Chains A and B, each alone.
Chain A
Amino acid sequence: MTCAFPCNASHLLRACAGLVLVFCAAFVTPAICAAAAQTATAVDIKMFAYAPKEITVAPGTTIIWTNHDGTPHTVTSTDKSFASKGLDTDDKFEHTFASEGDFSYSCTLHPFMTAVVHVRKQSPDVGAKSSSLAGPTRAAQSGIKTNELRAEEGSKVRHVD
Chain B
Amino acid sequence: MSAHNHDPSGLSHNPARRQALSCLAAWTGSAVVWTVAGGVPRALGATGDGAPAAAAKNALTFVQISDTHIGFHKEANPDVVGSLRRAIADIYALPQTPAFVVHTGDVSHLSKPEKFAQARDLLSEIRVDRVHTIPGEHDTIDEGVTGYLKFFDHDGKGRSWYSFDQGGVHFIGLNNVLNFKMGTLAAFGEEQIGWLKADLASVSHSTPIVVLGHIPLWTVWEPWGWGTADSAQAMTLLRPFGSVTVLNGHIHQVLQKVEGSIALHTARSLAYPLPTPGQAGIGEPGPVKVPAGELGKLLGTRRLTVVRGQHDLALIDKPLDA
Q: Which residues of A contact B (CB under 8 A)?
A: 47-48, 69-72, 74, 78, 85-86, 88-89, 104-106, 108-112, 114
Q: Given the complex, which residues of A lie within 8 Å of B111, measured CB to CB? A: 86
Q: Looking at the complex, which one of B109, B110, B180, B286 makes contact with A48 (CB distance below 8 Å)?
A: B286
Query: CA A59 – CA B89 in complex, angstroms?
Result: 58
CB-defined interface of B149-178 with A at 8 Å, one 1/0 digit per residue?
000000000000000000000000000000
Query: CA A110 – CA B224 in complex, angstroms?
Result: 7
Query: CA A105 – CA B283 in complex, angstroms?
Result: 21
Cβ-defined contact, B287 with A48, below 8 A: no
Query: CA A78 – CA B183 in complex, angstroms?
Result: 11
Query: CA A96 – CA B109 in complex, angstroms?
Result: 28
Q: Which residues of B contact A (CB under 8 A)?
A: 74-76, 109-111, 137-138, 141-142, 180-186, 223-225, 283-287
Query: CA A105 – CA B286 in complex, angstroms?
Result: 21
Shortest distance between the CB of B155 and any CB in chain A (Å): 26
Cβ-defined contact, B141 with A109, below 8 A: yes
Cβ-defined contact, B284 with A47, below 8 A: yes
Cβ-defined contact, A111 with B286, below 8 A: no
If A112-B183, A112-B224 are given as contacts, then 10 extra A-B residue pairs at C-beta distance below 8 Å, sorted by A number, are A47-B283, A47-B284, A69-B286, A70-B74, A70-B286, A72-B138, A105-B182, A111-B182, A111-B225, A114-B183
CB-CB nearest in chain A for B224: A112
Cβ-defined contact, B110 with A72, below 8 A: yes
Known: A70-B74, A86-B142. A106 touches B183 (CB 8 A): yes
Q: Given the complex, which residues of A lie within 8 Å of B223, measured CB to CB? A: 112
Q: Given the complex, which residues of A lie within 8 Å of B180, measured CB to CB? A: 108-109, 111
Query: CA A47 – CA B283 in complex, angstroms?
Result: 8
Shortest distance between the CB of B249 and any CB in chain A (Å): 14
